[in-house]
């Protein structure tokens, strides 16, 4: 059965009530879930698991407090439900997902959705938590009030799902064309009337109110404490960066050793010639240079997943709102910016949940300055090659401290950019901050491991396809055309890459970048971490005799310290990831702003690298 | 033998060029991020 | 009376009953939808460091973080026990 013949069932509900967790459980997909309101910002469709039903297709929608949208993610839900996005994506049946532990807050939305006239059923999610809190809900009474099946479920524990599917099947077979709705924003009196109606319903349907857990209140007294709160936040972030460097370095060294050995083994067992050069210099040096950073990237992702899953991220948003507000951002900018440590692209999409457009625009423009995981390989390689691992203050290594400084520099320049936008009145001012703080939850270890496996797979797939291909091409342009007979300089200087590098080099020479680094920066625009691979390939092609040494040793021999520091400064600012700007353009729909963001970052990168190179030159 | 291996080199370079071109032209650049699966959405639609 | 004030002026750890949410602000209706309606009890749980803004209020079984600017929209009565 093709997708268009299936019956589309929409999942709707408040932010953070567990729609995406339910969607994942019902479809077998692994869409991102976190304990933070507003993680899903786009509709996602997938078929229900085969073993349950073959004629139902589910669509997960961004959470919303009402059908009257306040932000672009909520507008997606509004447009899909009312058919403004086209008939094909309008669901015929709805599952209204409610948090069973707080029906008073969630039920008015169910009443509002009911008025759309679509057949629906209600899933009381987190019923396990409601049960353990001693809350008793009269399911039959709710069914009578709403005239629909009401099913207690737990999406994370996968309880009650087959009953839910059975109910859905029954509704779906009777569903027809969705009725046309003339929607108008609800008036004040309508909102109040619904709330009153809910009080009546609850009087009949709540048999025992139960005792909500005190855990969240207790934890908040620490995490939101005026003094302890910010201290905990700073220490947490510092520990994450230390962990990335110190913990990550150990497996990284093992993988590095393996890559070098594998390169030597390959070289020894293949007849000398172009083919061996391609495999060793292009593929193994290039791809190997990137995959050694897998452990560090996984540590970073693990930390971010734990922050998001526990419910702490919303607290960080609260603690940071004042600082963010000073520079025209909002507490809601914290989640996109922190997830920018992973990758700017989902971070820019995540900014959709910011209600106020000027705040959202500013967040999107500054997010590329947050140190994303693709910069990690570049920093790590440069630090390992040029920064001695001296102890600082007895406990921290100098290398870890430099890494932290680079992360702080990224975040600080994001703030500075936002402040600049605000002071030049380039984006509007004002704006607000309104965020529900979720209940704390113990992060699920299986979910964490599954998330890390997914990321490792995505990272390796990318290294094995896209980066591999770029490396092969780079090897080709560094090898051809071949040098003339009797050439006295290294072969690479006669190649296309050599000519390209010498052409670009004058612009980058004031930064202390030589032509080889200039060549390597070019594929870096496709993906930042490719710089490391590209250097691996360029240096391997240049120096075929000395295959045994590590890239870091070759760089140490070839570059001065000011050059290395200048490259670090360049990487803090440089708009090296074109995909980020493609997404930026799509989100803000303005070439003007996108080009503005790109040029500001490019200029900042050049200036910062120039100043660093000159200053470091004075001292050394 | 050398000719065969050199033939392989040409083939590999050609395939690599195709992969990169396809990636750049497909508009799926949103997958071109640091290797995370946060944006596993097949196509990211423009914001309304 | 005399106990009628704006939510933004309510002291930390003190509770009050909501009387009204002023309309006209883009978030007015949203505050209602998030449970801040007349008759509901509201309590200030936390204040952000230094500037004591934004605040976290407990209302309708959930915690909301909002700036004092938005809290200004809400009138409360400290005296009345619901």
Structure confidence at residue A313 as a pLDDT band (50, 70, 90): very high
Chains C and B touch each other (3 or more Cβ pairs < 8 A): no
Choosing among A77, A188, A312, which should be mutated to test the C contact, i.e. which has the most C CBs within 10 A?
A188
Closest CA to A295 of A261, A255, A257: A255
Closest CA to A492 of A524, A539, A532, A531: A539
Q: Cβ(A106)–Cβ(A131) under 8 Å?
A: no
- Per-residue pLDDT tens digits for A355-409: 888 899 999 999 999 998 889 889 988 998 999 988 887 777 788 888 889 999 9
Place of tokens 């150990």: A250
**% of chain A beyond a pLDDT of 70:** 98
By Cβ distance, the residue of A104, A217, A432 closest to C61 is A104
CB–CB of B19 and A465 under 8 A?
Answer: yes
Question: Could you tell me which residues come within 8 angstroms of residue A389 by beta carbon, excluding any fewer than 6 positions away?
Answer: A397, A398, A399
Reported as type and span, the H/E element at residue A396 is strand A396-397
User: What are the chain A neighbours of B10 within 8 Å (beta carbons)?
Assistant: none
Q: Cβ(A577)–Cβ(A513) under 8 Å?
A: no
Q: What is the pLDDT of residue C33?
A: 93
- Per-residue pLDDT tens digits for A573-616: 999 888 788 888 888 889 999 999 999 999 999 999 999 999 99
Closest CA to A566 of A504, A494, A511: A511
By Cβ distance, the residue of A352, A458, A476 closest to B35 is A458
Give me the mean pLDDT over the A139-153 stretch: 95
CA A184-A186-A192 angle, 5° bins: 160
**% of chain A beyond a pLDDT of 90:** 48
Structure confidence at residue B41 as a pLDDT band (50, 70, 90): very low
Give me the mean pLDDT over the A139-151 stretch: 94
Q: What is the pLDDT of residue B32?
A: 37
- Per-residue pLDDT tens digits for C40-63: 999 999 999 988 989 999 999 999
Instruction: Return the higher-pLDDT residue of A210 and C31.
Output: C31
The three-class DSSP label of residue A558 is helix
Structure confidence at residue C80 as a pLDDT band (50, 70, 90): low
- Per-residue pLDDT tens digits for A502-514: 898 899 999 999 9
Q: A437 at the C interface (CB within 8 A)?
A: yes
CA distance B3 to chain A (A): 10
Structure confidence at residue B45 as a pLDDT band (50, 70, 90): very low
pLDDT of residue A56 exceeding 80: yes
- Please determine, for the modelled complex, whether the ipTM score is greater than 0.90: yes
Residues 555-594 of A with CB under 8 A from C: none
- Per-residue pLDDT tens digits for A203-258: 999 999 888 889 999 999 999 999 999 999 999 988 887 888 778 878 888 888 89
Closest CA to A356 of A436, A431, A425, A429: A431
CB–CB of B36 and A301 under 8 A?
Answer: yes
Q: What is the pLDDT of residue B21?
A: 82
Question: Alpha helices of A175-227 — where are they, by DSSP H?
Answer: 188-205, 215-223
CB–CB of C30 and A432 under 8 A?
Answer: no
Reported as type and span, the H/E element at residue A339 is helix A334-339
- Per-residue pLDDT tens digits for A422-447: 988 777 666 789 999 999 999 988 88
- Per-residue pLDDT tens digits for A5-47: 789 999 999 999 999 999 999 998 877 788 888 888 888 888 9
Structure confidence at residue A335 as a pLDDT band (50, 70, 90): confident
Give me the mean pLDDT over the A103-125 stretch: 95
pLDDT of residue B46 exceeding 70: no
Q: What is the pLDDT of residue A440?
A: 94
Structure confidence at residue A487 as a pLDDT band (50, 70, 90): confident
Q: What is the signed CA dihedral for A180, A185, A188, A194, rounded to 10 degrees?
A: 40
The region of weakest confidence among A113-122, A141-150, B19-28 is B19-28
User: What are the chain A neighbours of C53 within 8 Å (beta carbons)?
Assistant: 322
By Cβ distance, the residue of A108, A318, A432 closest to C33 is A108
The region of weakest confidence among A181-190, A215-224, B33-42, C23-32 is B33-42
CB–CB of C33 and A331 under 8 A?
Answer: no
CA distance B22 to A318: 43
Provide φ and ψ at B22, rounded to 5°.
Answer: -60, -45
């Amino acid at each position: 059965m093709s997708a268009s013949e299936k019956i589309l069932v929409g999942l709707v509900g408040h932010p953070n009530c567990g729609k995406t967790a339910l969607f994942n459980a019902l479809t077998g997909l692994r869409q991102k879930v976190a304990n933070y309101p507003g993680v899903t910002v786009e509709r996602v469709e997938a078929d229900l698991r085969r073993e349950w039903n073959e004629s139902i297709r589910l669509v997960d929608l961004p959470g919303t407090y009402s059908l009257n949208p306040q932000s672009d993610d909520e507008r997606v839900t509004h447009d899909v439900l009312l058919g403004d996005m086209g008939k094909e994506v309008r669901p015929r049946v709805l599952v209204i997902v409610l948090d069973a532990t707080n029906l008073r807050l969630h039920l008015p939305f169910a009443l509002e959705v009911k008025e759309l006239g679509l057949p629906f059923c209600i899933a009381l999610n987190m019923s396990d938590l409601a049960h353990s809190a001693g809350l008793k809900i009269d399911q039959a009474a709710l069914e009578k009030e709403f005239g629909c099946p009401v099913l207690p479920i737990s999406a994370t524990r996968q309880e009650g799902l087959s009953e839910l599917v059975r109910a859905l099947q029954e509704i779906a077979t009777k569903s027809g064309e969705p009725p046309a709705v003339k929607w108008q924003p609800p008036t004040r009196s309508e909102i109040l009337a619904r709330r009153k109606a809910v009080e009546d319903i609850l009087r009949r349907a709540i048999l025992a109110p139960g005792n909500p857990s005190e855990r969240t209140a207790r934890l908040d007294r620490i995490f939101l404490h005026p003094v302890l709160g910010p201290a905990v936040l700073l220490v947490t972030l510092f520990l994450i960066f230390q962990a990335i460097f110190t913990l990550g370095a150990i497996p990284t060294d093992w993988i590095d050793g393996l890559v070098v050995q594998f390169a030597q083994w390959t070289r020894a067992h293949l007849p000398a010639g172009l083919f061996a050069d391609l495999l060793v210099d292009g593929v193994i040096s290039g791809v190997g240079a990137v995959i050694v950073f897998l452990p560090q990237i996984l540590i970073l992702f693990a930390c971010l997943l734990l922050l998001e899953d526990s419910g702490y991220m919303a607290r960080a948003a609260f603690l940071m709102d004042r600082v963010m507000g000073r520079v025209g951002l909002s507490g809601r900018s914290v989640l996109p910016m922190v997830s920018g440590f992973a990758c700017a692209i989902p971070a820019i999409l995540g900014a959709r949940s910011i209600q106020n457009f000027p705040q959202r625009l500013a967040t999107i423009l500054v997010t590329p300055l947050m140190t994303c995981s693709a910069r990690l390989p570049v920093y790590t390689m440069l630090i390992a090659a040029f920064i001695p691992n001296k102890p600082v203050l007895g406990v921290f290594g100098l290398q870890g401290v430099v890494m932290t400084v680079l992360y702080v520099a990224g975040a600080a320049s994001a703030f500075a950019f936002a402040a600049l936008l605000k002071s030049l009145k380039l984006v509007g001012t004002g704006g607000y901050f309104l965020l529900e703080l979720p209940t704390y939850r113990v992060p699920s270890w299986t979910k964490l491991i599954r998330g890390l496996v997914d990321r490792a797979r995505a990272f390796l797939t990318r290294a094995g396809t896209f980066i591999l291909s770029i490396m092969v091409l780079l090897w080709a342009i560094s090898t051809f055309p071949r040098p003339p007979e009797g050439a006295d300089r290294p072969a690479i200087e006669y190649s296309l890459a050599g000519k390209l590098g010498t052409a670009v080099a004058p612009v980058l020479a004031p930064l202390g970048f030589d032509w080889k680094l200039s060549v390597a920066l070019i594929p870096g625009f496709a993906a930042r971490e490719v710089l490391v691979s590209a250097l691996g390939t360029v240096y391997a092609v240049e120096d075929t005799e000395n295959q045994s040494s590590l890239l870091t040793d070759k760089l140490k021999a070839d570059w001065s310290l000011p050059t290395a520091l200048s490259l670090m400064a360049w990487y803090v600012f440089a708009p090296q990831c074109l995909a980020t700007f493609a997404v930026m353009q799509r989100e803000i729909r303005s070439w003007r702003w996108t080009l503005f963001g790109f040029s500001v970052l490019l200029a900042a990168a050049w200036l910062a690298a120039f100043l660093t190179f000159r200053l470091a030159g004075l001292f050394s | 033998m050398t000719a065969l291996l050199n033939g392989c080199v040409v083939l590999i370079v050609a395939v690599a060029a195709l992969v990169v071109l396809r990636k750049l032209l497909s508009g799926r650049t949103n997958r071109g991020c640091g290797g995370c699966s946060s944006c596993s959405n097949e196509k990211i639609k423009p914001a309304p | 009376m005399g106990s009628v004030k704006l939510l933004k002026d309510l002291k930390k750890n003190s509770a009050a009953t909501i009387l009204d949410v002023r309309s006209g602000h883009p978030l007015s209706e949203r505050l209602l939808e998030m449970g801040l309606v007349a008759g509901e009890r509201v309590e200030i749980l936390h204040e952000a460091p230094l500037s004591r803004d934004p605040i976290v209020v407990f209302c309708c079984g959930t915690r909301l973080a909002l700036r004092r600017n938005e809290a200004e929209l809400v009138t409360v009565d400290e005296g009345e026990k619901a």
